[in-house]
Amino acid sequence: MPENTIALLFPGQGSQAVGMGKDLYENYPAARQTFEEADDALGYKLSKVCFEGPEEQLRLTEITQPAILTASVAALRVFETRSSKPAYLAGHSLGEYSAHVASGTFSFADAVRTVRNRGKYMQEAVPLGVGAMAAILGMDFEKVAVVCHDAAQGEVCEPANINSPEQIVISGNTPAVERAAKLADERGAKRAKLLPVSAPFHCSLMKPAQDRLDADLNAIAWHKPVYPVICNVEAELVTEDVRARDTLLRQVTGSVKWEQCIRLLIAQGVQTFVEVGPGKVLCGLMRQIDRSKTCLNVSDEASLAKTIESLAKTVI
């Protein structure tokens, strides 16, 4: 395996920030074209919401999802012209769509429209206040799974994001998630905190959203991925378009097995990871999973320059 085995990682919901992508938009035609393409596909100025806010609007799930996807693909298109090709791609939840755009599995315009609908369906699947999510810090997966089971009491309470050995997010009915957070505290978690989210993502309460998304995924043109994409639901390599569709559909109700995804990439010989898109959430999780690996990021002109310089030293 060559020393320069690179995997690109794409962030999910929660990485959004007002102003994301503006720097690249102003300096690179490829980024400008990406935002314009998204505006055309959606029929409104997504670019304006990304660059100027307001933050409350950017936080609406059906805006957040296409916004992060667009900022990520804009960064990708600029980065691609300056970097060697990646060996693998992975994305956290929503980010898996960015990874498939990067791999040519479907078009960017189709992805933008699909994730807009995905966000809308997820938001509408559960009435506001009925569902919740909580982050359990410093407790291993087996213990968190038992906590979820004990707290459910006939309601839904499930591990939703297995982010790192230090951080697991749970999801389900609000009373059950509140009981689980309290139980986790009592059973030795470092911390258990409810998250400010608008819906209980990645649990069985999202089944209505998954059913609605099925038709959208059927309506788009699929192609064989150019690069292997690691899927969240199984933490396995996806190299076929039929499998890509299936794993993206099941991801709505399934757990995001992020730690396992990263460990698989490390087992494949990846030494260098590049987080492409807004924020540095995935680089933060990488430090919790394996500090010996390099994690760079590309979100604006400064981080792009720094990453290109860093890669030039490591790539043979």
- φ and ψ at residue 164, rounded to 5 degrees: -170, 175
Whether 223 is a known active-site residue: answer: no
SS3 133: strand
Please give the helix or strand (H or E) that residue 6 lies within, else none: strand 6-10
Whether 83 is a known active-site residue: answer: no
Q: Provide the residue type at 265 as one letter.
A: L
Residue 201 CB partners (closer than 8 Å, separation 6+)? 13, 93, 122, 133, 160, 171
Catalytic site residue from 47, 83, 93, 255: 93
Q: CA–CA separation, 213 vs 119, rounded Å?
A: 10
Q: CA–CA separation, 76 vs 70, rounded Å?
A: 10
Q: Which of 131, 27, 71, 83 is nearest to 272 (CA)?
A: 83
Catalytic site residue from 202, 255, 299, 303: 202
CA distances from 78 to 96, 108, 264, 301, 307 (A): 19, 15, 27, 10, 12
Q: Is 12 exposed, middle or buried (0-12, 13-18, 19+ CB in 10 A)?
A: buried
CA distances from 202 to 16, 237, 285 (A): 19, 20, 19
Is 161 within 8 Å of 261 (Cβ atoms)?
Answer: no
Catalytically active residues, by annotation: 93, 202
